[in-house]
Structure 1
Amino acid sequence: MSGDTPAKILLIATDRRLWGLLERLLVAAGYVVVDGGSGRETVALLEREGPVGLVVCERTGPGLDEVALFEEIRRDPGHGRVPILALPPADPECTVQALKAGVDEVLAKPFHPNDLLDRVHRLAGSGRA
């Protein structure tokens, strides 16, 4: 991302309270946040939104589970290399599944907001306009 264009982040979280908290945190850090919807909606949204700097995924909800979503993004020639940050529960099996599906980073819940921002900055760029 260029230094004067904020990174666009596709944010996926079924817990709307968590989604709102994450959105406020990311916007305050200078990012543009797009609601990733759930499952298949996310894949379609990637097509409509054009390039995104990062996909952050907590839970996808009905339609397509997280691992299937990660695998589908990785198979897509247009979006296959978009960085993905997974936010699974603190369960080693969830972490292993996410990494096998091709995510770039895993940050298990619960996490500190600064840990999230550190990973986002590293994966998507500073996002500061």
Structure 2
Amino acid sequence: MSSDTPDTPVRVLLIVKDRRLWGLLERLLVAGGYAVVDGGSGRDTLGLLEREGPVALLVCERTGPGLDEVALFEEIRRDPGHGSLPILALPPADPECTVQALKAGVDEVLAKPFHPAEFLDRVHRLARGGAAAG
């Protein structure tokens, strides 16, 4: 079954190191009608993209040990099967982090702290265009 059918929620892959923030974003996404896939660390994410099938969007705050966010973004962009996957980066409010994420190929950057409504607006915009991506 396709991830964009009316009976199946659009899937969002969520990589957030801070588990409290992960829980908050998961609740926002579920309330917004999305299914959330836990991306774990950056290395786990690459495997999940292969195993789990299509997701509409990758939301990434911090990957944790093993692979940093910028390296993950660059690796995804180089991959022919996942290179067009929309990516929303959630870096700290530091212009250098924003520039690094954009240079690595993310579609949107939303620096922390952010308002929940702004987060969901960005997710809706990106996931609509990426519902068939994978």
- Which blocks of at least 5 consecutive residues in structure 1 are unaligned? none
Q: Normalization by structure 2: what TM-score?
A: 0.91
Shift of 1:78: 0.7
Residue in 1 aligned with 2:91?
88
Runs of 4+ in 1 over 3 A off after TM superposition: none
- Which blocks of at least 5 consecutive residues in structure 2 are unaligned? none
Residues 33-72 of structure 1 mapped to structure 2, 5 A cutoff: 33-72=36-75
Shift of 1:49: 1.0
Aligned to 1:121, the other structure's residue is in SS state helix
Bigger relative contact order, structure 1 or 2 (CA pairs below 8 A, ≥6 apart): 1
Q: Normalization by structure 1: what TM-score?
A: 0.94
Instruction: Kindly indicate whether residue 25 of structure 2 is the aligned counterpart of residue 18 of structure 1.
Output: no
What is the count of residue pairs matched by the alignment? Answer: 127
Shift of 1:86: 0.1
Partner Cα distance (2:81, 2:73) in 1: 14
Partner Cα distance (2:51, 2:27) in 1: 23
Of the three residues 1, 4, 26, the one matched with 1:2 is 4
Partner Cα distance (1:18, 1:83) in 2: 21
More moved, 56-65 vs 1-10: 1-10
Deviations 1:64-87 (A, max 9, x none): 000000001111111110000000
Deviations 1:83-102 (A, max 9, x none): 00000000000000000000
Residues 104-115 of structure 1 mapped to structure 2, 5 A cutoff: 104-115=107-118
Partner Cα distance (1:53, 1:18) in 2: 21
More moved, 32-41 vs 117-126: 117-126
Shift of 1:39: 1.5
Residue in 2 aligned with 1:100?
103
Instruction: Kindly indicate whether residue 50 of structure 2 is the aligned counterpart of residue 28 of structure 1.
Output: no
